[in-house]
Amino acid sequence: MTTESGGKRLKPAPFDYTAPRSVADVVALLADDEHDAKVVAGGQSLIPMLNMRLARPTVLVDITRVPELDRIHVDAAGALHIGAAVRQARAVADPAVRDGWPLLAAAIARIGHPQIRNRGTVCGSLAHHDPAAELPAVALALDARFVLTGPGGTRTVDAADFFVATFQTALEPDELLTEVVLGPQPGRGWAFEELTRRHGDFATVGVALVLDRAPGTSTVRGARVVFCGAGPVPVRLRAAEDALLGTDAGERAVRAAAEAVLTRLTPADDIHATAVHRREAAAHLLVRACTSAWERCS
Ligand SMILES: Cc1cc2nc3c(=O)[nH]c(=O)nc-3n(C[C@H](O)[C@H](O)[C@H](O)COP(=O)(O)OP(=O)(O)OC[C@H]3O[C@@H](n4cnc5c(N)ncnc54)[C@H](O)[C@@H]3O)c2cc1C
């Protein structure tokens, strides 16, 4: 595999490829000390990393041929299960996702371009954990649970503990993220807003918002405010949530929530934007998100 880029030849280090048919076989390969095995799902992040030699696994373990990972379903308790081989395009087209988890559907639609979503998986984006990616913020906003399978068995990790640092999660090298589980969306009001330099880019900064309105009232009884692109992990801003809780989500409350962003959010400077620009954009995005989320609550 050789590609040309700006006159430079990009080529991965040599690797073997295997496509097992069961989770047990995937885990056995990951746990085998003789090889430096790495999972490949959609390959939309991993293959560029291989080509730039930022990763040099000796074996790629393709998980997209494992039938038990290629499932998306809602269980009897109303939770959505998305298996590791489920592509982003399939998840966003699923009527159950669009009806029950519209925040997730909206965020997936913001990922890259159709070609990326046709190959990239939901779990791959979560396992990769680019801090500018949309799905980790949504997973935190929706209290996702991550099911990890390794040689010692299966464990479940809450979203608040899964994202550890930039490109780092609670996954051990010999563990597979077998599925992500989302309970019912905790409110009918939702919005996903982001700032990007160009259509399809990763977010410079973005916000996932869920609002819940107390029945028969015009009072906010639940709020989730989570930013992407604002730190090494998705940032839940409780001060902004507190500014909205118990209010009518009117101008005053929304202004207080935006003020919380300006005083509490601490993004970093990088080549894409200054911290100040990110913070101000985040406050604007939250104002816009509050308006559309509250309309959806009505
Ligand atoms: C041009 C371009 C634009 C993009 N734009 C965006 C964007 O705007 N927003 C965005 O969020 N993403 C974007 N992406 C990334 C895209 O969403 C990827 O699909 C995603 O980050 C990784 O999913 P994947 O299935 O392709 O994983 P892969 O590339 O196959 O894997 C990525 C990493 O996760 C690990 N991994 C994957 N699945 C598992 C698993 N089940 N268990 C354990 N480890 C696993 C792999 O070992 C690897 O380290 C873009 C990609 C490209 C090429």
Ligand 1 binding pocket (C-beta < 6 A) is 38-46, 63, 84, 111-112, 116, 120-121, 123-125, 127-128, 133-135, 171, 176-177, 201-202
**58 contact partners, CB below 8 Å, separation of at least 6:** 15, 16, 35, 36, 37
Nearest CA to ligand 1 atom 11: 133
Nearest CA to ligand 1 atom 19: 120
**101 contact partners, CB below 8 Å, separation of at least 6:** 80, 142, 182, 185
Distance (Å) from CA 46 to ligand 1 centroid:
7
Q: pLDDT at residue 188 above 90? A: no
Looking at residue 37, what is its pLDDT? 96
Highest CATH level, class, for 69-182:
alpha beta
Identify the band that residue 2 occupies on the pLDDT scale cut at 50, 70 and 90.
Answer: very low
- SS3 call for 180: strand
Q: pLDDT at residue 214 above 90? A: yes
Largest CA distance in the chain: 64
pLDDT in tens, 96-138: 999 999 999 999 999 999 999 999 999 999 999 999 999 999 9
- SS3 call for 56: coil
Distance (Å) from CA 220 to ligand 1 centroid:
35
Atom of ligand 1 nearest to the CA of 112: 5
What percentage of the chain exceeds 90 in pLDDT? 89
- SS3 call for 23: helix
DSSP string computed for 218-280: S-EEEEEEEEESSSSS-EE-HHHHHHHTTS---HHHHHHHHHHHHHH------SS--HHHHHH
Location of each CATH 3.30.465.10 domain in the chain: 69-182
Probe ligand 1: pick from 36, 45, 63, 167, max atoms within 8 Å of CB? Answer: 45
C-alpha to C-alpha distance for 42 and 259, rounded to whole angstroms: 39
Location of each CATH 3.30.43.10 domain in the chain: 3-61
Distance (Å) from CA 99 to ligand 1 centroid:
25
Residue 26's Cβ-count burial label (10 Å; 0-12, 13-18, 19+) is buried
CATH architecture for segment(s) 3-61: 2-Layer Sandwich (3.30)
Distance (Å) from CA 250 to ligand 1 centroid:
38
Residue 40, beta-bridge partner list = 62
Looking at residue 201, what is its pLDDT? 87
- SS3 call for 87: strand
Identify the band that residue 8 occupies on the pLDDT scale cut at 50, 70 and 90.
Answer: low
Which CATH number does 189-297 carry?
Answer: 3.30.390.50
CB 176 within 8 A of CB 148: yes
